[in-house]
Amino acid sequence: MQNIEMLFKAAQDNDFLVFISPHYYYPHDMGWLFEGKGEAVMHSLGTFVRTDQLSEEGFEGSGADWLEQYKPYIAEDNVIVSSPHKVYGPEQNDLVLQMRKKKIDRVILGGMSANLCVESHMRELIEQGFEVHVVKDATAGAKDPELGDGYAAALTNFKYIANGVMSTDEAISAMGADADEIAVAIDRREGEEVEIETESNGATRL
């Protein structure tokens, strides 16, 4: 999670656009008549569920909400949030349209669920003609005794398919930033947030 935050910070500091392809389920999606293993797990856990397409009621703090540490970055003008994807890839949302309209042709890709959403986005963006570089330590995958190691499977396919596979530090360097400086800036910001919370609440919460 910290590596994704470092990418947010580097993009913000160096005027890179950030495109987010969110994963949302609405009530009508919960009535699907068939689904794969991953879908079944996400549905059973209520992951990414929103109460309504046109309302944010119940969104804050839900499984569909942004992680708190990312919210300050997502609120910035360099971030574009596409319509939601539904299964794993961006074929059903407007991510590609949004990037085309900004004349984007090179992508640095990270996010949750390496062998599901990240790999599916990588594959589709490559098929759409984008140059895709995956940040291997800005994603993760589940391990299951029956299904196997999702991250290891994804990493193999990243190496076979992506135009490049890099670390967070390498990606930040490619954006013209310094990884150590980014990490220090994030630590400083988090420290300021704790200090503010201490002043307002009268007690420090870590």
- Are residues 99 and 139 both part of a single domain? yes
For residue range 101-124, list pLDDT tens digits in order. 999 999 999 998 999 999 999 999
The whole-number pLDDT of residue 190 equals 64
Buried/exposed code over 60-96 (b: 16+ C-beta within 10 A; e: otherwise):
eeeebebeebbeebeeeebbbebbbbbbbbbbebbbb
Q: Is residue 206 part of a domain?
A: no
For residue range 149-197, list pLDDT tens digits in order. 999 999 999 999 999 999 999 999 999 878 788 887 777 666 554 333 3
State which of 13, 36, 63 marks the end of a domain.
63
- Are residues 49 and 140 both part of a single domain? no
Q: Is residue 95 part of a domain?
A: yes
For residue range 22-61, list pLDDT tens digits in order. 998 888 888 889 988 888 887 787 778 888 887 788 888 8
For residue 46, the enclosing domain spans 24-63
CA triple 67-72-74, angle to 5 deg: 75
- Are residues 51 and 146 both part of a single domain? no
CATH number, domain with residue 78? 3.40.50.850
- Are residues 108 and 149 both part of a single domain? yes
Global pTM reads: 0.84
- Are residues 47 and 144 both part of a single domain? no
